[in-house]
Structure 1
């Protein structure tokens, strides 16, 4: 986050150095922030979907493992 903040500050300073007013420079920086946020969201959309599906699979595997361990313990108890 520090890198992004540094870029925003540097952009603002650069805009001010070419005599763009504070309000206009702030608007440019805000628009750039919004554009970057949209692009990051778009770029991560597929990854987020994959992670959600993997979370479901991991939950399912945890349930199956728990049931298997319980059954294994029950069978071991019965066979004693």
Structure 2
């Protein structure tokens, strides 16, 4: 029985350098005697029952903020609380 099945995929733009992607899929499951076994998935897997998939995606600009831009920008303005 599958205990955990997860993975990640990161696409990156190298600016003037190369672009690419990295990531992988990992699976953990219970063996026939109850031991927990797991590792990287390297091929096709077929589900024997219902599968629920949760997918998270983040905007591309999230990773493209330069370090200098973060260091030189002013902190966000916070309004004074009304009493």
TM-score of the alignment, normalized to the shorter chain, above 0.5: no
Give the number of the structure whose residues are more often helix, by fraction: 1
Asked which structure has the greater RCO (Cα within 8 Å, sep 6+), the reply is 2
The higher radius of gyration belongs to 1
The TM-score with structure 2 as length reference comes to 0.22
Give the number of the structure whose residues are more often strand, by fraction: 2
